[in-house]
Structure 1
Amino acid sequence: MQDRQGLATRVFPSDRPVDLPPVLLLHGIASSGNGDWVEPGTVSALNDAGRTVVVVDLRGHGDSPAPASAAETGAPAQAQDILAALDGVGVETFDIAGYSLGARLAWAVAEEAPARVRKVVLGGLSPVEPFSMVDIAALRKAVAEGVQPEDPFTGMIAGLVGSRGPEHAPGLALVVEGLASTPFEPKAWPVQTPPVFVVGQDDMMTQGIERIVDLVGGAELITVPGDHFGALAGAEFRGTVVRALGQ
């Protein structure tokens, strides 16, 4: 079997490097590393703090190749993709900041390679698996034929998938399908240092996150201004990432 193509990966070195590992940034669903991390200024803020930053586009997103099947987009498979991308740029030990889907996959990366992960920020993390509520057959039909799903939530996901254009929609639908087949069911935190959870004060997607925080002894929960999208773009979120990973 031919090896699948790796993820699009960019490294942003600092002009004033400090003696800390690189920071891996993981974006949300139907977004990209550029949209979630470069444009809002998080990469620049981390560089200013002396950190080298690694930004990947998840499979089916940004400049990364589309998946061939849903088997390539379950959480464990995506974690292996991410680790292979880090191997490709020579990064062994690293910190992680992930947002929304990126936070979900940051947890999966920590499970796959706990000895390589130093500190983690989990932003905008849903305490449940939202994609398990998607009618996959209806989503496939929406992408292939433009048929609007009857279920409102599936219709919302179909709209999100379709918003990236016909060239990305089939791959994004496979991402949703793969994640639905490997739902988020967190147990013990695998890394020695507990993570920092960051949520927007008006973010409905993170309601009930305290249940997940309570699973991790010593974890910190920080609330910043904004809803699910506004929090990510805010200065308080950027500052929290820099401070939490800089200790």
Structure 2
Amino acid sequence: MPDTPGLAVRTLTPDAPADAPPVLLVHGFGSDGTADWVDTGLAAALAATGRTVIVPDLCGHGASPVPESAAEVTAPALAADLVAVMDQAGAATFDIVGYSLGARVAWEIPSAAPGRVERAVLGGLAPGEPFTAVDIEALHRAVSDGTECEDPFTAAIAGMVGAHGDRAAGLALCVEGLRSVPFQGGPWNAKALPVFVVGENDDLTRGIDGLAESVGGARLVTVPGAHHEVLAGTGFRDTVLDVLAR
């Protein structure tokens, strides 16, 4: 697992390469590339179609370094890291699949790499910024010394982050960085409109139809499952393979 621009990156190389750009897979918050893409089989399924598949761990996640400041883990900063990964891979153009936080970060990439993003599937994207509701000081206290959070949502995030042991402080910085530059939509600057995929029981994605309309009527696909169930489902996998087919 070589390090590329500071990040841990896995690359799956097909046995019979297709005449198509590589695919960048971007995982969700508190997860990593192995859990979201390798263990679910989607990375292998894409490689089987002849695609080179690039699977990084975001800063603060998986085997990648822990951030030293929240500024390193805003969505634009995370997107810049991923563009550097694709630069080092020699990818003039590429497709993207992102889920949850991965979709949020993927939204920034066409602006950070003009003219290079071809097709994109954005799964589980919240049309707002959930982390703006976090009491960030309370979260840091909870992670550092176990102080209980009065706010239920902050307590839930603290529980999720705290489960990662010595990685918890870095994930708390990720929350701080992401909430400091909240998602506000805006133009989609890739060659084609993204395809949004949401679970039919995913409350986090409520209102995504408005976001899809705002970028010119992007396709919205609803599949079975709640937020944590969609990635492993056949509906999501089939949509990704269909959208990225060449």
TM beyond 0.5: yes
Structure 1 residue runs of 5 or longer lacking an equivalent are none
Once the two structures are superposed, what CA deviation does each residue of 1:102-126 show, in whole Å capped at 9, x if it has no partner? Answer: 0000001122113110111000000
The residue type paired with residue 103 of structure 2 is A
Measured in 1, the distance between the counterparts of 2:74 and 2:7 equals: 15
Once the two structures are superposed, what CA deviation does each residue of 1:34-57 show, in whole Å capped at 9, x if it has no partner? Answer: 000000000111011111100000
- Tell me the CA shift for residue 154 of structure 1: 0.5
Corresponding residue of 2:212: 213
Corresponding residue of 1:27: 27
Say yes or no: does 1:238 pair with 2:237: yes
Measured in 1, the distance between the counterparts of 2:163 and 2:108 equals: 26
Corresponding residue of 2:83: 83
1:99-138 to 2 correspondences below 5 Å: 99-138=99-138
Q: Quick check: 62-71 or 43-52, which moved more? A: 43-52
1:1-247 to 2 correspondences below 5 Å: 6-165=6-165, 167-247=166-246
- Tell me the CA shift for residue 92 of structure 1: 2.4
Q: Give the alignment's TM-score, normalised by structure 2.
A: 0.96
Q: Judge conservation of contact 1:10–1:55 (CA < 8 Å) in 2.
A: yes
Measured in 2, the distance between the counterparts of 1:139 and 1:67 equals: 16
Measured in 2, the distance between the counterparts of 1:64 and 1:5 equals: 10
- Tell me the CA shift for residue 222 of structure 1: 0.4
Structure 2 residue runs of 5 or longer lacking an equivalent are none
Q: Judge conservation of contact 2:22–2:91 (CA < 8 Å) in 1.
A: yes
Q: Quick check: 80-89 or 64-73, which moved more? A: 80-89
Task: State the secondary structure of the residue aligned to 1:45.
Answer: helix
- Tell me the CA shift for residue 141 of structure 1: 0.2
Q: Give the alignment's TM-score, normalised by structure 1.
A: 0.96
The residue type paired with residue 196 of structure 2 is F
Instruction: Tell me the matched-pair count.
Output: 243
Q: Quick check: 137-146 or 87-96, which moved more? A: 87-96
The residue type paired with residue 91 of structure 1 is A
Once the two structures are superposed, what CA deviation does each residue of 1:142-187 show, in whole Å capped at 9, x if it has no partner? Answer: 000111210000011111111212x110000000000000000111
- Tell me the CA shift for residue 207 of structure 1: 0.9
Measured in 2, the distance between the counterparts of 1:67 and 1:94 equals: 26
- Tell me the CA shift for residue 91 of structure 1: 2.1
The residue type paired with residue 59 of structure 1 is C
Q: Judge conservation of contact 1:60–1:67 (CA < 8 Å) in 2.
A: yes
Return closer, same or farther for 1:216/1:5 CA change in 2, 3 Å cut-off: closer
Measured in 2, the distance between the counterparts of 1:35 and 1:180 equals: 24
Task: State the secondary structure of the residue aligned to 2:119.
Answer: strand
The residue type paired with residue 119 of structure 1 is R
The residue type paired with residue 216 of structure 1 is V
Once the two structures are superposed, what CA deviation does each residue of 1:40-80 show, in whole Å capped at 9, x if it has no partner? Answer: 00011101111110000000000000001001011111111
Q: Judge conservation of contact 1:189–1:215 (CA < 8 Å) in 2.
A: no
Measured in 1, the distance between the counterparts of 2:120 and 2:5 equals: 27
- Tell me the CA shift for residue 204 of structure 1: 0.9
- Tell me the CA shift for residue 12 of structure 1: 0.3
Measured in 2, the distance between the counterparts of 1:204 and 1:230 equals: 13
Q: Quick check: 94-103 or 184-193, which moved more? A: 184-193
- Tell me the CA shift for residue 5 of structure 1: 6.1
